[in-house]
Amino acid sequence: MTHPAPAPQLLLAPMEGLLDFVLRDVLTRIGGWDRCVSEFIRITDQLLPERVFMRVMPELAWGSCTAAGVPVRAQLLGSDAACMADNAARLAAMGSAGVDLNFGCPAKVVNRHGGGAVLLQDPDQLQRIVEAVRLAVPAHVPVSAKMRLGFDDDRLAEACAQAIEAGGASELVVHARTKAHGYRPPAYWHRVADVRAAVRLPVVANGEVWSVADAHRCLAESGATALMIGRGAVVDPGLGWAIRRSLGWPAPAQVPAVPAVVEWAELLPHLEGFWQLVCERIEPRARAGRLKQWLNFLRRRFPQGQTAYDEVRTLKDSAAIGHWLNRQLLLTAPCSATSPMACLEVMA
C-alpha cells in the first residue's frame, strides 16, 4: 500500500514525567502544533479501566483535544499483542484521536519487562503488535508508532520500520538514536532518510531539535516533511511558531498566531496558567516540583528563567509560589493609572 506524502506538520512529543496533559494544555495554547501524543500508558496483562486512560489523558473527555483544540493521540506501551489490541479497542471506543505504539522508550525498567526499545530486537514481534492493534480498532482510527534506530545498534532499523509498515501502521516517528545512545547528542538524522527509503508510509523525524536552525538541518538530512519535538518545545515554547514561519508552513487552524519569538513577559501569563492547572490537578506534595522542573528547562532559553528558578528553588508552599507568580506578573505589566497603589506595593 502506498501512503500519500504527509503535509508539513509539527508534532508535540510525549515525555514521561514532564510533557503531560498540563504542559500539553499550555504549549498548545501558545500554539504552532498540529498534534500531540500522550505519555505512554503501560499495558501488561489486563484490560485497563477507563479511569486509567482518563488519568493519563484527560483530553479524552474533551473530544481527544487540548483546550486549544489540538488533537491528542493516546500512546500504548507493551509487548503482549492481544492485550495491546484489547486496550487499543477500548481507547478507540472512548474517542481517542488515534492509537500510537511506543517502541522507543529506553528506560531500563520498561525494557526489562519487554516494552519500549527492547522490542526493536524482534521485528516480527513489532509486526504482530501493530497488526493486532490495527485489526482491533475501526478503520478510521489511525494507528501510528514511534521507534528508535535500534537497541544496542542500528542494524535492524530498516527491518523494524518495514515490520511496522507491514503490520498496518499509517505513520512512523523515528527518534534518530538507539537505546544505547539514550538522549546524548548527536541525533543521526541521516539514518531517518535511510528508514524513509525502506518504507512507503509517512516518516516523522525526531530528536535533538532545539532551534529553527536544528529544524532546517534535520529536515534536510532526514528528507522528512514533519517533525516531532519534545524538550526543545519545553525550553522554548515559541519554537513551533518560529519553525513554521521560517519554513513558510501554514499555521494550524486551532489557535490564533502569536509572535514567532515568545519573550518572557509574554510567557508569564502562560506560566501562571500552568501553575493554576497544577494546583487543580496535581497532588499538593508534587506541585512545587512541577513548576521548578519547567523553570529548570526555561532557563536554557530565557535569562529571566534563571532568576525565576533561583527565586523559586527553595519554595515549597503553594501559596508562597502563587504570591511569587502574582508579583512577577505585576512587575512585567504596565502600571495602570487607575491603580497606582498596586504598582507601589510591587515596587516596595
CB contact burial 41-69 (16+ within 10 A = b; e otherwise): bbbeeeebeeeebeebbbbbeeebbbbbe
Look up cell 489523558; give the residue. 57
- Cα of first residue to Cα of last residue in the chain, in angstroms, is 68
pLDDT of 273-320, one tens digit each?
Answer: 999 999 999 999 999 999 999 999 999 999 999 999 999 999 999 999
102 and 75 Cβ atoms separated by less than 8 Å: yes
pLDDT of 190-237, one tens digit each?
Answer: 999 999 999 999 999 999 999 999 999 999 999 999 999 999 999 999
Active site (catalytic) residues = 105
337 pLDDT above the threshold of 70: no
Please state the rounded mean pLDDT for residues 116-135: 97
**Alpha-carbon dihedral angle through residues 215, 224, 179, 26, given to the nearest 10 degrees:** 50
pTM over 0.85: yes
Please state the rounded mean pLDDT for residues 22-40: 96
**Alpha-carbon dihedral angle through residues 114, 117, 123, 129, given to the nearest 10 degrees:** 60
Ranked by mean pLDDT, which of 173-177, 244-248, 285-289, 339-343 comes out on top? 173-177
Distance (Å, whole) CA 246 – CA 264:
21
Q: Is 314 exposed, middle or buried (0-12, 13-18, 19+ CB in 10 A)?
A: exposed
- What pLDDT, on the 0 to 100 scale, is given for residue 259? 61
Go through the domains of the chain in sequence order and give each one's CATH number: 9-247 (3.20.20.70), 264-347 (1.20.225)
